């Protein structure tokens, strides 16, 4: 298979596209929205905060990112805590109510105690004279100010504990500001795992540091706070015009990367809606010839992997950036070109024939010319039966993988970009 699909076993929340509508009506720029607001234009990264139960001050927090038209998980769900009174319905957040606002909000600057921070977000160090004003009567309400205490009520940003070691400003009620609608909403380090906040979202220091490293301001990140979104219909894969579907009685469809029965133990195709085998028409013509040859002899080709979108390849590389197992998406693989197929053989009734190794075996025994011991001779005969039909049809084997076949003039075919 030349490029092993290493894919995230994501609990990917593709429903982020519905997040604003599935939450209580979103608060946009701090003002109650009359109707659910869409994600801001250009948003490609979202922090998801989902309460564990209605009224609960405990939640989970995860990070998803849009790539190739698919939302994929970058940070698996971790424990978080909310305001002591849970989450406020949209437009109902009030100063001092102990509730966390619900909705979709841009993420602002990062801040903390250190002179620097390992993050790509704009960063500001909090000093002893830095305050966030939470006095609705102050002209500086819901603003960071520096200097002598400028208001009756304020939040000191250089605390005596670790809670603001790392923080991120949630742009709730900031542009414009509505006095009394709530202030000083941050993501920050929790006091303790089950201790609620006054309205912020808090998580462990380790998880907060990791989140800061992953957030990318070029992706216009937001935080979506509220009830779990309804799941949308599964994504539908639309093949490029020169890709054709491989199907018929000559085949057994068993796309291993559309299951967890692969060396990753993860389904990497489901988030992309890939449930069928597609190949470039030139490769499809040769595979069809081989399949007809074998079918006439009472065999069927088992399809393990075919065209693989480049967006999947990128996800694979993020999980396992090792070219021994996964092709670097910067170069692409022949699966990304649509000219390679991973396959095996089955009898007419669909039962697979024994082969020298399982799929995605990385030992020397998986080589197309590996010798078999006497007690494994049948396995080598089955492998060679497949190879003979494929080579007669004009497909060449990959030396280290008996199951991988491709067009011999691969570089004539460009990597197909689905992003």
Residue 200 placed within a domain: yes
Task: Identify whether 401 is a catalytic site residue.
Answer: yes
- Rounded CA-CA distance 195/188 in Å is 13
Residue 9 placed within a domain: no
| pLDDT at position 70 over 80 | no
Do 221 and 265 fall within a single domain? no
Tokens of 33: 């929205």
pLDDT digits (tens, 9 = 90+) for 221-275: 999 998 654 445 567 788 888 999 999 999 999 999 998 888 877 888 888 889 9
Could you please report the per-residue DSSP string of 368-389? Answer: TT----GGGHHHHHHHHHHHHH
| pLDDT at position 31 over 60 | no
Q: Which of 155, 171, 401, 419 is catalytic?
A: 401
Q: Structure pTM?
A: 0.53
Do 54 and 197 fall within a single domain? yes
DSSP state of 212: H
Could you please report the per-residue DSSP string of 38-84? Answer: PPPTT--EEEEEEESSTT-SEEEEEEEEEETTEEEEEEEEEEEE-BT
| CATH number of the domain enclosing 364 | 3.30.1380.10
DSSP state of 197: B
Q: What is the pLDDT of residue 27?
A: 28
Do 369 and 323 fall within a single domain? yes
- Rounded CA-CA distance 405/300 in Å is 16
pLDDT band at residue 356 using 50, 70 and 90 as cut-offs? very high
**Which residue range(s) make up the domain with 339?**
243-412
What's the number of domains the chain is made of? 2
Residue 251 CB: number of other CB atoms within 10 A?
Answer: 20
Among 21-25, 99-103, 214-218, the minimum mean pLDDT is found in 21-25
Among 263-272, 340-349, 378-387, the minimum mean pLDDT is found in 263-272
């Amino acid at each position: 298979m030349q490029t092993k699909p290493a894919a995230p076993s994501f609990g990917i929340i593709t429903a982020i596209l519905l997040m604003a509508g599935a939450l209580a009506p979103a608060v946009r720029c701090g003002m109650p929205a009359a109707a659910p607001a869409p994600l801001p234009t250009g948003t490609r990264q979202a922090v998801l905060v989902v309460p564990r139960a209605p009224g609960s001050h405990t939640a989970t927090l995860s990070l998803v990112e849009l790539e190739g038209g698919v939302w994929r998980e970058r940070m698996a769900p971790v424990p978080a805590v909310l305001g002591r009174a849970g989450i406020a319905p949209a437009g109902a957040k009030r100063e001092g109510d102990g509730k966390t606002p619900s909705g979709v909000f841009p993420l602002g600057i990062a801040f903390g105690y250190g002179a620097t921070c390992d993050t790509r977000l704009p960063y500001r160090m909090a000093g002893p004279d830095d305050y966030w004003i939470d006095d609705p009567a102050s002209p500086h309400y819901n603003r960071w100010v520096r200097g002598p205490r400028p208001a009756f009520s304020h939040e000191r940003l250089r605390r005596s504990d670790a809670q603001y070691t790392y923080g991120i400003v949630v742009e709730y009620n900031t542009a414009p500001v509505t006095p009394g609608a709530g202030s000083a909403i941050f993501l920050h380090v929790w006091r303790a795992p089950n201790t609620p906040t006054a309205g912020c979202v808090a998580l462990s220091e380790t998880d907060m540091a990791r989140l800061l490293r992953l957030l990318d301001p070029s992706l216009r990140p937001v935080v979506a706070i509220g009830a779990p979104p309804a799941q949308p219909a599964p994504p539908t894969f639309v093949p490029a015009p020169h890709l054709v579907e491989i199907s018929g009685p000559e085949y057994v469809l068993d796309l291993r990367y559309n299951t967890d029965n692969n060396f990753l133990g993860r389904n990497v195709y489901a988030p992309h809606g890939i449930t069928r085998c597609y190949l470039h028409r030139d490769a499809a013509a040769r595979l069809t010839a081989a399949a007809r040859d074998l079918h006439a002899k009472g065999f069927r080709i088992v399809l393990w992997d075919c065209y693989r979108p480049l967006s999947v390849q990128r996800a694979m590389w993020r999980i396992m950036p090792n070219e021994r197992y996964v092709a670097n998406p910067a170069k692409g693989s022949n699966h990304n070109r649509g000219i390679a197929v991973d396959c095996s053989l089955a009898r007419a009734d669909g039962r697979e024939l024994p082969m020298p190794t399982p799929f995605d075996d990385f030992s020397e025994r998986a080589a197309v010319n590996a010798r078999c011991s006497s007690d494994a001779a049948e396995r080598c005969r089955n492998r060679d039966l497949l190879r003979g039909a494929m080579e007669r049809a004009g497909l060449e084997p990959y030396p280290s993988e008996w199951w991988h076949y491709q067009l011999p003039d691969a570089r004539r075919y460009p990597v197909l970009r689905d992003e």
